Amino acid sequence: MTQRLKSVDVVVVGVGFMGAIMAKELAAAGLTVVGLERGKKRWTVPEFQAPDIHDELKYSIRKGMMQDVTREAMTFRNSPTQEALPIRQWAAFLPGTDLGGSGVHWNGQTFRFTEADFVWRTRMHERYGKDFVDPSLTIQDWGVTYDELEPYFDKFEYLLGTGGKAGNLNGKIQRGGNPFESWRSREYPNPPMKEQYGGVLFRKAVEEMGHHPFVQPSSNMTRPYTNPEGLQLNACNYCGFCERYACEHFAKATPQTVILPVLLRNPHFELRTEAQVLRVNLDRNKKRATGVTYADASGREFEQPADLVIITTYALNNVRMMLLSGIGKPYDPKIGEGVIGRNYAYQTTGDVYVFYDESVNINPFMAAGASGTLIDDFNDDNFDHSSHGFIGGSYIMSALTNGRPIEFHPTPPGTPDWGKEWKAAIRRHYNHTAHMLIHGSSMPTRTNYLDLDPTYKDAWGLPLLRITFELPDNDVKMTQFCVDRAV
């Protein structure tokens, strides 16, 4: 039996960065807001504290901060003709859970989209002609522009205390920043991070080649910072346990450090954790949300009526929640129609390792999640693609986010995977290897999409999300081009 609760103005589904920001703005405007978070409550103290939090096996290998895969998995396949099977342990996709969501285990790398990204289809057609773009790519314009969003990028960076150096202040190119970025209305709230040794070696090399290195914008604090909400953060100490981990030092911008304490003080807001939303309820015409139905930790069901329902559970689970609730027209890849689940894009990455001699101590463990020195010369539409046969691009960044040894023990090509020679090689190269990350765009295609799995169910008996994704040829070409530039 479902218990019907007292109606509120707003229900927010998922209390991570987006949910917390939406709830805070709406509650401040005087609306009554309930935040429903499927996971548990957790705070910098005591949950993120020493000695347990820097446990590589628990968090990096067993994925301790991720969505509980035993109860809610996703299924995966590469093409619509294949049978999808459940992702039984997380690998490529790492959805977070619990209060703060993925905003707790992220790395703090804080980039903006560019003006071109928002009008990508128009830009590609105008610059390279309609026939240039691979017809299997289903690129579109966003319908909003960079200029409209700039004040919100700015507000977000000040909320988070992002550190960096502007490259384009109101149209004027700035030395030391990224000259390819779109305009920003003012400087970053904090200075850039300290550069790693590998980054400095990279900077020297690319400057000689005429490229434009800059320090990665970071929401790991570069000095003590009080944000516009009055919350105080500490300077990052470069401990090397950032991505997949929570920060024990109040030094990474997370919902817990930059907004939740303020939100929870507002009497118009109520947080309910361990509240698993099963569906958004709709009116008779299926045009208007009337609230949500959720289950608590012991499985009791509640209906929470609301005038406004906001789904902030990241793109993957947002799509699933809409499909489970019968919202919108599901995307059908056979006819290319429908919106929900259409144009799923991921990320495209390549790696290059640089092996130095034993006199060069790289010290990979001295790192922040957003450590990095990079160039955008081959990213986005920052270079002429007409002779290359692909669209999009990558940043090329010298970055080591950690020296955690289960994950990081690089060996040169040709080294065996085990045995005496391998053991000698990992020892020889551990502290003398730099890494370049080639991290780039992922173009949408007609056959990369999300829908509900016909077979596999979650712990509440609801269909899992099904991901159908294959790297487009365009992106493979793009990454190969950028890896060649890096080498």
- Eight-state DSSP code of residue 59: I
Which stretch in 110-118, 126-134, 310-318, 404-412 sits in contact with other proteins by CB under 8 A? 404-412
Tell which one of 5, 28, 31, 69 touches other proteins (CB under 8 A): 69
Unique residue bearing structure tokens 């130095």: 356
Tell which one of 29, 144, 200, 205 touches other proteins (CB under 8 A): 200
Q: Which of residues 208-247 bind other proteins (CB under 8 A)?
A: 235-241
Distance CA 479, CA 282 (A): 44
Give the amino acid at 336.
G
Q: Which of residues 122-181 bind other proteins (CB under 8 A)?
A: none
**What is the token pair recorded at 432?**
């003398």
Distance CA 474, CA 187 (A): 35
* Residue 70 is a binding residue for other proteins (CB under 8 A): yes
* Residue 195 is a binding residue for other proteins (CB under 8 A): yes
Tell which one of 1, 6, 46, 88 touches other proteins (CB under 8 A): 88
The contacts of residue 23 (CB under 8 Å, 6+ apart) are 10, 12, 15, 33, 35, 263, 269
Neighbours of 417 (CB within 10 A): 7
Query: Is the previous residue joined to 135 through a cis bond, with omega within 30 degrees of 0?
Result: no
Q: Which of residues 345-384 bind other proteins (CB under 8 A)?
A: 360-361, 363, 365-367
DSSP, collapsed to helix, strand or coil, labels residue 396 as strand
Longest dimension (CA), the chain: 72
Q: End-to-end CA distance of the chain, in Å?
A: 63
Tell which one of 194, 211, 272, 477 touches other proteins (CB under 8 A): 194
Burial of 371 (0-12, 13-18, 19+ CB in 10 A): buried
Residue 165 · residue 194 · CB < 8 Å? no
* Residue 426 is a binding residue for other proteins (CB under 8 A): yes
Return the number of the residue (82 or 386) whose C-beta is nearest other proteins.
Answer: 82
Tell which one of 76, 156, 180, 378 touches other proteins (CB under 8 A): 76
Tell which one of 41, 42, 77, 272 touches other proteins (CB under 8 A): 77
**What is the token pair recorded at 76?**
């995966």
Tell which one of 2, 3, 82, 232 touches other proteins (CB under 8 A): 82
Return the number of the residue (85 or 116) whose C-beta is nearest other proteins.
Answer: 85
Tell which one of 29, 57, 297, 315 touches other proteins (CB under 8 A): 57
Interface residues with other proteins (CB under 8 A) are: 50-52, 54-57, 61-63, 69-70, 73, 76-78, 82-83, 85-89, 91, 194-197, 200, 235-241, 360-361, 363, 365-367, 403-406, 409, 417-420, 423-424, 426-427, 430-431, 455-457
